[in-house]
Structure 1
């Protein structure tokens, strides 16, 4: 008989459809195996083997979903700030990343996983190299992830071929692994780093493997201008012609889009991972999120890497998403608090093609976080959704479950040795700087 976790007396925020993300009630939450068995009012009779959790003072909600990032780049946090994207990439990031070993990728990924788990993220999308190391770290940590071998195609044809073969091998090997917690996609890095014929090969592979595609797109004005100069069209039309949107697709950033381009994304069901913190820090601009949402484009939230953000707290992205579009548009209703919270939970899950993650409902995966709402910034208890979005942070997260297994208890990570992770990350940075 499956041992259950019965959480009594907590506030419950389901994020279920039709509730607008704004219904908070007290009740009981029961986790059985990897699923939610019951959520609702009243109590459930416990069996002797069940674990009983006192939920008083906590708000239980779906785990946060980070739909774009590069976990191993946490080693480069603070390496170079306050420059634009091209300078940041070409003069600082890429030269340092060229020194990375597989062990460095593992160290940086584990550091990011600890940071994400302790701030309430239970699922993340990751695009990088040495992806077997990333997948092994995810498997060991108990986290959920959508992973892809991101490929830059600015290299000789034989190197391109080897990278593509590696991406295909990784996607095949890890899709559905770790008790289904790992899924995979194909990921040409961006239209400005991959020649058109090379992107077409990724599209072909995605069709053969029946996998989605993830890529960077229209992050900066310069990128858009150079794409138009090189290929005669802007990135959206460029990728459409190459067949990228013939697969389920999630693009990162989508900052510089016209009305026509937004309509193209909507008509092809392409999702956009909105990365407000990274886009602001690199002065890339502010994505047209209200226009995207009005057109029916699914918008989720990502942190990008800890090198460009410089943190992985999705609560901060939720707050930014709710605030910056008000300021840019002059419309205080542009992105309401509840909708920003949906972008960081259920919309993120759906953007990663996960249909049983993102809400707290019976039968859904037991990916749950507990937020301590006893602090002064949650008082008085006027509207806990408002408090979460405008006053809360990842530092308020006390407990985390993924697939029904508790990964964080009392702000302590249970599956990774935090002291070891921090020591290995600092050792890796010293070597990379040496």
Structure 2
């Protein structure tokens, strides 16, 4: 497929952008000589890279608003996990489709997911045209039968061809150190090295997690993972809140990547993310929404604004986490974490991009586009979403969106009566 975007704002100048296949081919002031299957008038629009959601649980759209205003462990053990136990594969498929719809509507084209019934999420991503890294969940609670089951399931999954789409990547998903045994974590570290896989894990999310780790293992979570050989550049640590200085040094030394989840962390009162200290150490920090039962949406524009404002309020420093840095977390840092040739608008980069409506009230006037994007905009400012050179949304319309919404409503009603 070929697309030509005419007269669009890019880094302060009006240009034409030609997309050929899945890549940006040319950016010039005038590409009128270029022919394309689809021509988009970019007048009063700006082209920017699409957003990368570094940690979520997509099908938890089904649980949006279900169990709010609770402490994390009570929320998980007594409400979320029992409800998730009732979910069918088709429920997960439609929940993931709803998540994909919401992300397309709010400018996200890649998400890193951890959830059950991975085959259902694969189908949803393929159908909706997004990119994703999908984590094979592993939770054994130290039960020998569960350890054997999840090891076998993991080996079986990675021995199969689960998708032909280059838009879908796979990772290992040990849930957390308090739900996965030491034996399994060591085995997963070896399996990841053998198969060149990223390991996606919740880490140091709460004070209780740290205290329980010290009680069980005599050390803190980051040191524990180092001691068993799990730390490395292929680790994506979600949350990473309760860290001391030596642990931050370890994350930097081992080139561990971190997903910052400001809204979820604030809503669940998990703690305060040490952004400045990790950033100063050169740790690559991506931005994510977490799942819809703890956020409660997937709008990365909202996440960017909340991330920077919370840093400023906590530090009493208006220069903390400036707009340019949080924009980088949501774009180029995410691309680095997941090995994507994305995060910038330039020839040769993946054609994963957005057209923002510069007539949207939140983007007027346009003194500084990135400042507007971070501090003023929300997902409604996205007019067009393109992923892998394919238009997923144009003029804020996504094909089939009404059908997805109606199906999810019906499935949630059935789930509550199950």
Q: TM-score, normalised by structure 1?
A: 0.93
Are 2:295 and 1:297 equivalent residues in the alignment? no
2:358 match: 373
For residue 110 of structure 1, the aligned residue among 80, 93, 97 is: 97
Alignment of 1:404-419 (within 5 A): 404-414=389-399, 417-419=400-402
Distance apart, 1:353 and its partner CA: 2.4
Of 89-98 and 146-155, deviating more is 146-155
Q: CA RMSD in A?
A: 1.5
For these two proteins, the number of residue pairs brought into alignment is 417
2:381 match: 396
Matched residue SS, 1:244: coil
Separation of aligned partners in 2, 1:101 and 1:249: 30
Distance apart, 1:155 and its partner CA: 6.0
Are 2:297 and 1:315 equivalent residues in the alignment? no
Distance of aligned partners of 1:259 and 1:154 in 2 relative to their CA distance in 1, 3 Å threshold:
same
Distance apart, 1:349 and its partner CA: 1.4
For residue 46 of structure 1, the aligned residue among 27, 34, 39 is: 34
For residue 78 of structure 1, the aligned residue among 48, 60, 65 is: 65
Q: Which runs of 5+ in 1 are unaligned?
A: 13-22
Separation of aligned partners in 2, 1:152 and 1:167: 11
1:264 match: 250
Distance apart, 1:24 and its partner CA: 3.1
Distance apart, 1:151 and its partner CA: 1.4
CA contact (8 A) 1:148 1:167 kept: no
Matched residue SS, 1:412: coil
Separation of aligned partners in 2, 1:388 and 1:40: 24
Distance of aligned partners of 1:172 and 1:262 in 2 relative to their CA distance in 1, 3 Å threshold:
farther
1:17 match: none
Q: TM-score, normalised by structure 2?
A: 0.96
Distance apart, 1:419 and its partner CA: 2.0
Separation of aligned partners in 2, 1:229 and 1:301: 31
1:276 match: 262
For residue 119 of structure 1, the aligned residue among 102, 106, 110 is: 106
Separation of aligned partners in 1, 2:251 and 2:68: 32
Q: Which runs of 5+ in 2 are unaligned?
A: none
1:363 match: 348
For residue 317 of structure 2, the aligned residue among 331, 335, 339 is: 331
Q: Which runs of 4+ in 1 moved over 6 A?
A: none
1:313-359 CA-to-partner distances (Å, cap 9, x unmatched) read 011111111111111111222101011111111111111222x1211
CA contact (8 A) 2:233 2:257 kept: no
CA contact (8 A) 1:109 1:134 kept: yes
Distance of aligned partners of 1:160 and 1:426 in 2 relative to their CA distance in 1, 3 Å threshold:
farther
